[in-house]
Amino acid sequence: MDTVSIFGWIAAGLVLSSFYLKTMVPLRLVAMCSNVMFIIYAVLSDAPPILVLHCLLFPLNLWRLIEAHNLRHKFAKALQVEISPALLLPFMQKCTSHQGRAIFQKGDNADNVYLVLRGQVVLQDSEHPIADGQLFGLLGVFSNERRHSDSASCLTEVEYGVVASEKFLELVTQEPRFENYVLRTIVQRHLVPGQKTKRPEIGNLTAENLHGTLGQL
């Protein structure tokens, strides 16, 4: 095997290995290494399309790596205080809704996670209002269909924070302590007495199977 082929196979192996990585920082590092190997391969084999492609991909991966590093740094700084949903605030957009207005309906796509900042929110299938400092809209994010199996409406005028579910899941998977906090929140609310109907979104909810679900994200 000649030198050119060696660089090509190394590059291909790095690309393949990147598909087995679950967290963003290692994935970007491996992707950047594969870009370098492909650039060397393209120069030695006189392949301009491959050279141009990976010369463009390298700075893009570097940019995403810096973003991921900054995100981890910001989240780690927030975790220096007591674990609470408030650490999501830097990543949230604030919204206000009037009393009686629906925030989401049963069957809607679970594209966001919500945090009550002021006021009270009530879920259709629960008798217990969700008050200041509490998350809601969690079950739909972890369901197979990624849809809400309940409706949420404003019991009072409500100010709340909204974070995209993808960003929320990224934060959860990067910090085990926050992952455990979310786990406890979902389990406690799912098993709360007085709930009118059992929510079917994530099947038989236990600490073990939800932790496994988070680990696969």
Average pLDDT, the chain: 79
Share of the chain above pLDDT 90, in %: 27
For residues 23 and 49, the answer to whether their CB atoms sit within 8 Å is no
- Which pLDDT belongs to residue 190? 64
Q: Is the pLDDT of residue 207 over 50?
A: no
- Which pLDDT belongs to residue 191? 61
The pTM for the full model equals 0.54
Tell me: the pLDDT tens digits for 49-106? 999 999 999 999 999 888 887 777 766 665 555 566 777 888 889 999 999 899 999 9
Q: Is the pLDDT of residue 179 over 80?
A: no
CA distance 197 to 49: 58
Of 145, 119, 53, which Cα lies nearest the Cα of 136?
A: 119
Tell me: the pLDDT tens digits for 113-135? 999 999 999 988 777 788 888 88
Tell me: the pLDDT tens digits for 17-28? 888 877 788 888
- Which pLDDT belongs to residue 215? 41
Q: Read out DSSP for the chain?
A: --HHHHHHHHHHHHHHHHTT--SHHHHHHHHHHHHHHHHHHHHHHT-HHHHHHHHHHHHHHHHHHHHHHHHHHHHHHHTTS---GGGGGGG-EEEEE-TT-EEE-TT-B--EEEEEEES-EEETT-SSPB-TT-EESHHHHHSSS-B-SS-EEESS-EEEEEEEHHHHHHHHHH-HHHHHHHHHHHHHHHT-TT-SS---TTSS--HHHHHHHHHT-
Of 155, 143, 54, 154, which Cα lies nearest the Cα of 104?
A: 154
